[in-house]
Structure 1
């Protein structure tokens, strides 16, 4: 079994560039495949969606079956295992608590000077589309992570698009989750065509102002092509992780956690980064048995990842490991070092930072409360994890009294004159304001 093993100090510049490459970045060719799909949805709407459901998801459906019915929600409630319901509800409680704590004041002001007030008014985005992928399974956790902050932010219209099952339905867990989050408008469509439908609207699926949610490289390509037509939010593509270790960590834990994101799909990225050769060697030795014990599909994914976008990176020291992390800007970062709090302030680029051996990515992905929809493809350098702020917008507010106007008017006028805007300047120099204003 091939497991990539990189010694950072021995890599050439071109090899380092290759190491930093991941599947989401390499989507130029996919854009050519996705563009016709987007155009087809724009031109033919629901009819195109039905054809793509059949082509990509093997689901034979009619147009009037695109939207999930109340009967389907009821069936999901009745059919879902009570234990699964309990798991979803407990996780939802933690996620709601965390996101409620994020909510800002609806409005605030500060006094800039006597008679000069400035502030912000926070309002929800009018309409948002949530994309929940399906792949080989279902992802009610993604439904929680996206629907909960949208509802807490009081978005008036929240819709969900998710790929149909082969029988033209949606899995029970996803529908149950959407319902307990407070979302009842769910549409059975996935992939690039779902992003296009939310961007342009169809007879059945409404156009929304923003679409969020992780997906395949095809979904990422569609988002990039539709940027400007719709706000596509946090770049959330194929899964990626770095497990940062020092010599104190149990290699078994490091090996187990390295496979968490690797099993998502063959286009995932999963790297172990350490300056301990002993840990690196032991993890490399442990991985084959751990991978071989997995079900075939997940085994195949992990094998592909470890020989492609994943593997082990040996650095000269902890500082070099931290620099690698910041340069890579991973979606998930797990910090398995003796004193994780001591290195926390040195980490500046990561979608999420999970500290210590009791905080594996698994807990963050499902039940901790933090949001697991995170920037991928290196975008953690400039983008943040999904929060309630993704569903809110700010409007600046200014209020100036007569006293404040007299203090600031000449400054603004002179600035306008310097930049060559006479109308700006005239609006002050020729202004005649009633003293009661």
Structure 2
């Protein structure tokens, strides 16, 4: 069945279906998640231990111990360690470049203003587990924290059915030097990091993607602890002209579709020929790729091939979609113009040799990105999310009369006269007169 939609001809309902994609709806589980949060808040470790006894019939120790890290290292290949080293070097360098510098200058005579940069003191990172393990998420959430100078980094990750932790996740955490790691997942992990338990320390901010129960809990604890942002199912939008390679496009769409049945994968192109070729290749490949059932279901529900009349219309559609990942496959002379018009994307990959999977693992930019249209409001996870930018001001007494004059007018209008009185006392102090 063809997935091609023409923007000029399509009914609004078809376009809205593509834009809508999979939504993060916590309404059906909200009450259950609230109970979990309250249970962990009240009972601490016991709530976590009882949950895994009931759900998996296993006895767990919430804390992950040093001997588990040692055994994990013995179970992973040298190639895996080398891949961690290569990827982490790039991720570290990229996030180091993001770090802002403190500054101070004399804005007006006698008025000095600036900013200082301080790390958040403690953060919690979540490494998803369950159907698959994601050591790459350890790299993406821990390395920016380290580069920011965060003093305490706490990691949580769910156990397997036998209570063990995936050795590749443990090795990644060990490689990064994270020793405060805990065996807990989903909503229980969020509650533990938000409020603390006998084992898991309370943190100032929680980071990382996860499933619907984890995401719901993040939404519900925001009054008690800061979070990075809400990340839902993966998304890719590829913007292409007639020079694009249709097979590369199809493979890149499939590379993201294999994540989950709720993944969205969209091509918007100015070329009818490219649209038809990609449509045909997808039909051929989708039956024989790895994880075919997941790919087929996701593409059937949230995949589309959109034909635009020109690049401006294609870019406008991409901006409205605001994808987590945006690939730009256009001729070299058009790249700068197209890029200059893109406003909304979590991360952008330019040219046919920079597919999203490289960014998922080894390029350097972060793979924790806004989804569901939130790229209209923010970019991906960065070192800035682990830092506090604090404003600083110093005033010489000689400029107080001028400042006070204007403050008196504005504060008086708002009825906050004591604001001015605090300054007036300093103006009237003989010691402050030059």
Task: Return the TM-score normalized by structure 2.
Answer: 0.94
Question: Does residue 255 of the first structure (1) align with residue 238 of the second (2)?
Answer: no
The 5-angstrom pairing of residues 225-304 of structure 1 reads 225-295=220-290, 298-304=291-297
CA distance, structure 1, for counterparts of residue 69 and residue 323 of structure 2? 36
**2:389 counterpart SS class:** strand
Question: Does residue 335 of the first structure (1) align with residue 328 of the second (2)?
Answer: yes
The 5-angstrom pairing of residues 4-403 of structure 1 reads 4-54=3-53, 58=56, 60-62=58-60, 65-105=61-101, 107-295=102-290, 298-339=291-332, 340-403=335-398
Question: Does residue 409 of the first structure (1) align with residue 407 of the second (2)?
Answer: no
CA distance, structure 2, for counterparts of residue 24 and residue 185 of structure 1? 33
The answer on whether the counterparts of 2:242 and 2:270 sit within 8 Å (CA) in structure 1 is: yes
**1:308 counterpart SS class:** helix
The answer on whether the counterparts of 1:341 and 1:355 sit within 8 Å (CA) in structure 2 is: no
Can you list the C-alpha shifts for 1:159-178, whole angstroms capped at 9, x where unaligned?
11111112212112211211
The answer on whether the counterparts of 1:273 and 1:321 sit within 8 Å (CA) in structure 2 is: yes
The answer on whether the counterparts of 1:214 and 1:238 sit within 8 Å (CA) in structure 2 is: no
Residue 434 of structure 1 and its aligned partner are, at CA, apart by 5.1
Residue 429 of structure 1 and its aligned partner are, at CA, apart by 2.6
Residue 309 of structure 1 and its aligned partner are, at CA, apart by 1.7
The answer on whether the counterparts of 1:27 and 1:217 sit within 8 Å (CA) in structure 2 is: yes
The answer on whether the counterparts of 1:234 and 1:384 sit within 8 Å (CA) in structure 2 is: no
CA distance, structure 2, for counterparts of residue 345 and residue 59 of structure 1? 55
Residue 54 of structure 1 and its aligned partner are, at CA, apart by 5.0
| Cα gap change, 1:267 to 1:54, in 2 (>3 Å) | farther
| Cα gap change, 1:3 to 1:260, in 2 (>3 Å) | farther
| Cα gap change, 1:234 to 1:59, in 2 (>3 Å) | farther
| Cα gap change, 1:53 to 1:267, in 2 (>3 Å) | farther
CA distance, structure 2, for counterparts of residue 198 and residue 395 of structure 1? 25
CA distance, structure 2, for counterparts of residue 149 and residue 130 of structure 1? 11
Can you list the C-alpha shifts for 1:278-297, whole angstroms capped at 9, x where unaligned?
111111111133222223xx
CA distance, structure 1, for counterparts of residue 214 and residue 411 of structure 2? 45
| Cα gap change, 1:275 to 1:142, in 2 (>3 Å) | same
CA distance, structure 2, for counterparts of residue 54 and residue 303 of structure 1? 35
Residue 55 of structure 1 and its aligned partner are, at CA, apart by 5.7
**1:9 counterpart SS class:** coil
Residue 32 of structure 1 and its aligned partner are, at CA, apart by 4.1
**1:109 counterpart SS class:** strand
Residue 26 of structure 1 and its aligned partner are, at CA, apart by 3.6
| Cα gap change, 1:50 to 1:294, in 2 (>3 Å) | farther
CA distance, structure 2, for counterparts of residue 234 and residue 221 of structure 1? 12
The total of aligned residue pairs comes to 430
CA distance, structure 2, for counterparts of residue 302 and residue 77 of structure 1? 33
Can you list the C-alpha shifts for 1:36-77, whole angstroms capped at 9, x where unaligned?
332332233222223433566x37133xx1111111111122
Task: Return the TM-score normalized by structure 1.
Answer: 0.93
| Cα gap change, 1:6 to 1:215, in 2 (>3 Å) | farther
The answer on whether the counterparts of 1:122 and 1:392 sit within 8 Å (CA) in structure 2 is: yes
| Cα gap change, 1:59 to 1:86, in 2 (>3 Å) | farther
**2:301 counterpart SS class:** coil
CA distance, structure 2, for counterparts of residue 303 and residue 73 of structure 1? 38
Which structure 2 segments of 5+ residues have no match? none
The answer on whether the counterparts of 2:18 and 2:304 sit within 8 Å (CA) in structure 1 is: no
Residue 80 of structure 1 and its aligned partner are, at CA, apart by 1.2
